[in-house]
Amino acid sequence: MSNEQSLAERFNALADPALWGGLAPQLHIDDPAFTAAAKQPMNFDAAALNGINADLAREGYFQLPALDWGVDVAGVAAGVSAVVTAGYMPVFAFMYDEPWFMYARLHKLMTTVLDAGYRMMPAFWAWHVDGKREGAGWTPHRDLGYRTLLPDRRPKAMTFWLPLSEATPQNGCMYIMPADLDPTYGTPSDNQFKIDLQSMRALPSPAGGLLAWTQAVLHWGGRARKPVTTPRISISVEFQRGDQAPIYEPLLDPLQLPDMTSRLRLILRQVLQYKHMYPLSPDMESLAEAAAFRPGLTPAFLQDMMQRNKPA
Ligand SMILES: [Fe+2]
């Protein structure tokens, strides 16, 4: 067997809807009857949207209570658990329709904070903080820093974090240093930060809530107490304004759910990007190196397959 064949077989096995359907039959996989509703945006009243922009300008983040996503949020959380239990990294939950669907439905909110023409960045992740495989969220950091703010401090790009289970200080909820209390926020010296303990803010959230921050805000995920009774399960995706140069490529149409092949290639790109934090098996690393989505680059073994899979 040639190496190319073996890569193609491994890729096909991971792109197979039957694999993921078997793990979480309650979720949807490339199901047009379900995903059609992704283009029906969730409604927010004008006052709520105004409040969001005010919070964002002052504190660099905003938080919303549990929203009406139109999906079974507990089922999505169970899907992430099933993916992890089967030995895959939690980010493979993006093989299901639901994560993409949930972000698409934020259209009205996105146009408020990032303007019409906003784009989805090929930058996403999922966490399953259960005290076993993963004991804490990420350490204090800024995502991309001050360069992602406009001169008036509005964001060029933001991270949208969705807790799928209740996030509490006990299971590792998010913590943030509000921008107005952070002396180096939005400045070229923002990589030098001192954490003023009294100013840091724990942000517990119900399952199905939403937390979003500019990419300059200082934040981290807490450490879970052991034993963890409710794992902290969450997903996040980064978005940017459409009138700014792409921060990562390819930028994605936020209302168009990628097909299974594209999802897998995007997921492989994420696992490569974070391999310094989450070491990969040699098989996963070689597949990711070969097949991860890179702009304009489609590996030979995928070109054949994608040609064959084109709808008639
Ligand atoms: Fe982050």
DSSP letters for 82-150: HHHHTT--GGGGGGSHHHHHHHHTTHHHHHHHH-TT-EEEEEEEEEEE-SSS--B-PPSB-SS-GGGB-
Cα 142 to averaged position of ligand 1 atoms, centre (Å): 6
Question: If you average pLDDT over every residue of the chain, what do you get?
Answer: 91
Provide the whole-model pTM: 0.93
Give the closest residue to 214 by CA, choosing from 279, 269, 274, 146: 146
What pLDDT, on a 0 to 100 scale, did the predictor assign at position 208?
Answer: 98
Cα 220 to averaged position of ligand 1 atoms, centre (Å): 7
Among 75-89, 95-109, 216-230, whose mean pLDDT is lowest?
A: 216-230
What pLDDT, on a 0 to 100 scale, did the predictor assign at position 2?
Answer: 65
Give the closest residue to 32 by CA, choosing from 108, 97, 78: 97
pLDDT tens for residues 145-163?
Answer: 999 999 988 999 999 999 9
Cα 136 to averaged position of ligand 1 atoms, centre (Å): 13
Cα 143 to averaged position of ligand 1 atoms, centre (Å): 5
What pLDDT, on a 0 to 100 scale, did the predictor assign at position 189?
Answer: 94
Cα 190 to averaged position of ligand 1 atoms, centre (Å): 14
pLDDT tens for residues 262-287?
Answer: 999 999 999 999 898 889 999 999 99
pLDDT tens for residues 223-264?
Answer: 888 888 889 999 999 999 999 999 988 899 999 999 999 999
- Determine the structural domain holding residue 241 and report its residue range: 3-308
Percent of the chain exceeding pLDDT 90 equals 74
**Total count of domains within the chain:** 1
CB 162 within 8 A of CB 234: yes
Cα 64 to averaged position of ligand 1 atoms, centre (Å): 18
Cα 31 to averaged position of ligand 1 atoms, centre (Å): 31
- Reported as a pLDDT band with limits 50, 70 and 90, residue 1 is low
Cα 121 to averaged position of ligand 1 atoms, centre (Å): 14
Cα 22 to averaged position of ligand 1 atoms, centre (Å): 31
Cα 7 to averaged position of ligand 1 atoms, centre (Å): 32
Say which CATH number the domain at 46 has: 2.60.120.620
Residue type, 167: A
- pLDDT of 134 > 80? The answer is no
- pLDDT of 103 > 80? The answer is yes
Residue 115 region by backbone torsions, left for phi larger than 0, else alpha for psi between -120 and 50, else beta: left
